[in-house]
Amino acid sequence: MANGKFISKLLRLVGLRVCEVWFKERLRELHLHVKPHKNGAQCPQCKRRGRIVRTLPEARIWRDVPVCGWAVFFHYFPREIACPTHGRAQELIPWAEGYARVSHRLELLVLTYAQLMTHKAVAKLLHLPVSTFSDILHRTITLCRDGHRIRALRSLGIDEVSYRKGQKYLTVVYDLERACVVWVGKGKARETIERFFNEQLSDYQKKRIEWACCDMSETFIGAIKEHCPNAELVLDRFHIAKALNEALDEVRKSNRRIHRAWVLKDELNQFWDYTAHWRARDFLKQWTTTALKSRLQPLCKFALTIRKHTDNILTFIDSRLTNAVSEGLSRIIRMVKNRASGFRTVQAFVDLIYLTIGDVDIPAQIPNRFRTL
Ligand SMILES: [Zn+2]
């Protein structure tokens, strides 16, 4: 028993007792037979003591934080109890979530590491199969986001992110004031963004939105105009620069007259320094005229788009909103994408976006008493 106490202290096991210890040397595993500290068993739903009906015939096994290269496992025979309110149920397991096969503190560690490094690195460091790692991530993040509601959204940003070599897209919605992601949906079509507006925001919340920022795609602009009656639409510097770069890439492919295109690009940069509305408008008019005269097809198309959206681009001059924020957020998402490379499903990518820049601090959702790390 002294052995058990020592191990318990070494591994900082709180709220449970170690009854038996054995090693599987070849597999580098340390196994502990454990029991909850307190007598009696609690109902997982109401936390009240219930009458113990029976001990389940099979031990359950939980994976814990590895120590010095040993993977650590808990073994325990859970008991079935009869709760006066909830009937027969398996007792509350203090070191893990209901049906989880890993301890709370391993979960916390997985989440913390996943914010910093690649899936592969986390799995290796914690002696986990990659699939277990993805499962933990998904389960915890779904749990934390379940019933989560968006709060106090005043500056909205909508963007699309590609995954799998530009074939498929996610629509990402930002809170630009708090610089975080509030929602991610699959696809970039109108119905995706409709789902966000219909399922996530009440009419009151939609009316409260003051600024909305997106690229020049009709999909997003149309949805914003329909759902946010009081929002000023801002087409920001970051997205316009992105569209222009795409146009330049097109020009580069045809290879001639490239110089003229670059001069035009440099000139457009001046626009962002204007502070007077009317000057900015004049400038944009002149610039688009020159661009149209260039007879470079992609640039003409870009210039026409700019003309069409002039009013919403000029709102940037007044609001100075979002530029750095949306650019910064999309940079983080690109980083997350690289980090999640080799993810099996798009869901793993979505999970990581929520974990890294979501509007809830997900590791903070794990109960305090499991933070003995
Ligand atoms: Zn109960």
d(CA 116, ligand 1 centre) in Å: 39
C-alpha 122/C-alpha 340 separation (Å) is 11
C-alpha 268/C-alpha 202 separation (Å) is 39
Helix (H) or strand (E) holding 66: strand 60-67
Q: What is the pTM of this model?
A: 0.74
C-alpha 270/C-alpha 274 separation (Å) is 7
d(CA 39, ligand 1 centre) in Å: 17
d(CA 37, ligand 1 centre) in Å: 20
d(CA 40, ligand 1 centre) in Å: 14
d(CA 43, ligand 1 centre) in Å: 5
- Token couple for 336: 């997350």
d(CA 342, ligand 1 centre) in Å: 42
Nearest to 337 by CA among 94, 170, 109: 170
- Token couple for 169: 């897209």
Predicted pLDDT of residue 373:
44
d(CA 146, ligand 1 centre) in Å: 21
Predicted pLDDT of residue 324:
67
Helix (H) or strand (E) holding 196: helix 190-200
d(CA 87, ligand 1 centre) in Å: 7
Predicted pLDDT of residue 372:
54
Task: Provide DSSP, 22-45.
Answer: EEETTTTEEEEEEEESSSSEE-TT
d(CA 135, ligand 1 centre) in Å: 28
d(CA 210, ligand 1 centre) in Å: 46
> Which residues neighbour ligand 1 (ion) by CB within 5 Å?
43, 45-46, 83, 85-86
d(CA 69, ligand 1 centre) in Å: 40
d(CA 75, ligand 1 centre) in Å: 24
d(CA 367, ligand 1 centre) in Å: 20
d(CA 49, ligand 1 centre) in Å: 8
Residue type (1 letter), 309 = H
Nearest to 170 by CA among 359, 336, 322, 323: 336
Nearest to 220 by CA among 192, 182, 251, 245: 192
Q: Is 367 helix (H, G, I), strand (E, B) or coil?
A: coil
d(CA 369, ligand 1 centre) in Å: 22
Note the pLDDT tens digit of each residue in 336-364.
887 766 666 778 888 888 888 888 777 77
Nearest to 15 by CA among 92, 85, 80: 92
Query: Residues 113, 114, 120, 126: is their CA dihedral positive or negative?
Result: positive
Predicted pLDDT of residue 296:
81
Counting runs of H as helices and runs of E as strands, what totals does the chain give? 14, 13
Nearest to 298 by CA among 254, 259, 267: 254
Nearest to 138 by CA among 354, 372, 364, 297: 354
Calculate the alpha carbon distances from 80 to 56, 77, 305 in Å: 7, 10, 66
Strand partners, 192: none
Helix (H) or strand (E) holding 190: helix 190-200
Q: Which residues contact 320 (CB under 8 A, 6 or more apart)?
A: none
Q: Which residues contact 212 (CB under 8 A, 6 or more apart)?
A: 155, 156, 157, 158, 224, 228, 231, 232, 233, 234
Segments of the chain with pLDDT less than 70 = 1, 165-166, 255-257, 319-324, 340-344, 365-373
d(CA 84, ligand 1 centre) in Å: 6
d(CA 334, ligand 1 centre) in Å: 45
Q: Is 129 helix (H, G, I), strand (E, B) or coil?
A: coil
Predicted pLDDT of residue 278:
83
In angstroms, the first-to-last Cα distance of the chain is 24
